[in-house]
Amino acid sequence: MSDWLNRFDSVWSLDFEFSCPPGERPSVVCLVAREFHSKRLLRIAMDELRSMTQAPFAVDERSLFVAYFSSAEWNCFLSLGWKLPARVLDLWCEFRNLLNGTQPPAGWGLLGCLTYFGLDSIDCTEKQDMRQLAMRGGPYSADEMSSLLSYCESDVDALDRLLPSMVDRIDFPRALLRGRYMVAVSRMEHTGIPIDAETLSMFRREWEAIKSRLVESVDESFGVFDGTTFKQDRFAKYLIQNQIPWPVTPSGRLATDDDTFRQQSRLYPQIAPLRELRHALSEMKLEKLAIGSDGQNRCLLSPFQSRTGRNQPSNTKFVFGPSVWLRGLIKPREGFSIAYVDWSQQELGIAAALSGDPA
């Protein structure tokens, strides 16, 4: 087994159960943790957890914390007001890194990871029942809390079985960088993005009328809509009249997916307003934007979800998912400001560093 696990004073496998309505911070239900070497076990129920001002173990550089898709665990730390751990090994990140670009037979979840490594796991139906119980929220009976703690412990048992099976295939020390990023993700998810809730409420209330006006304002240059419905025959007529060639599907129909519209808009800029309108109509599921009671947009950021290692949050729950104009809903509270920035030339900088370019 890799000597990396012996470089720490303690190695804790841990799992929380919690409830978390859309847009809110998690409400912690219970915690189970086991130290890998000594086998010391902690089972802490909701009432005791919420009375604790700090974690029941050291979280400095001498302790390693092992979890699966651990941003959820660190969100629980933040909700409890605990200091975040300095060293994290996330077995989901390492499973993803190991099989990136493929699709595991049983999926990317903890059960799928156990299956891939030929290890026993909890029954899927039982797992779903316990998740539903945790998400229901308290108060819980003594029997319910006992069941939740046992379920939580079964996930910690799974981590303890996975770790020896995976550790020699883990890319240390970069694995700790990925774990560190999961901690950073939890801070982003915990903080959220401030939203102009009053304007959003108006949009939701008046959305059908807004859609009709959007279509009217754009379609007067195209004549391809019937109400708010895009019509293929009218679009074909427009293309012929304007001598614009257009890709077709294998069945011979005009290709109307967003990628095709995006590519064609680059060649024929007059199409761009139509593409943006169609994108807005398809993506504008305003009721699914995850807004908490404090007006913050929070959702799972899905780190490392893409093949290139990028975040892939839900396009319907995250304010940066729908059409660009909706970002106007982002509104810092009084006394605060927000900088909307992105990396510039990042790929070239990485290439220069990897090539050893002294400039």
pLDDT in tens, 2-37: 688 999 999 999 999 999 999 999 999 999 999 999
DSSP secondary structure string, 73-133? HHHHHHHHTPPPPS-EEEHHHHHHHHHTTS--TT-SSHHHHHHHTT-----HHHHHHHHHH
- Cα separation, 310 vs 294, whole angstroms: 28
pLDDT at 144: 95
Share of the chain above pLDDT 90, in %: 78
Length of the chain (residues): 359
Instruction: Give the tens place of pLDDT for each residue, 230-262.
Output: 999 999 999 999 999 999 999 999 999 999 999
Residue with tokens 């009084």: 334
pLDDT surpasses 70 at 72: yes
pLDDT per residue as tens digits for the range 106-155: 999 999 999 999 998 767 667 788 889 998 988 999 999 999 999 999 99
Strand-strand pairing, 193-194 and 10-19: unpaired
pLDDT at 287: 82
Which architecture does CATH list for 3-191? Answer: 2-Layer Sandwich (3.30)
Name 19's bridge partners: 27
pLDDT at 2: 65
In 117-196, where does DSSP find H-type helix? 124-136, 142-166, 174-191
Q: What is residue 344's predicted lDDT score, i.e. its pLDDT?
A: 79
Residues 6+ apart with CB under 8 A from 218: 273, 274, 276, 277
SS3 226: strand
- Residue 193: which H helix or E strand, with range? strand 193-194
Nearest-angstrom CA–CA distance, 188 and 320: 14
In the predicted model, is pLDDT for residue 1 greater than 60?
no
Domain ranges within the chain, ordered by starting residue = 3-191, 197-286
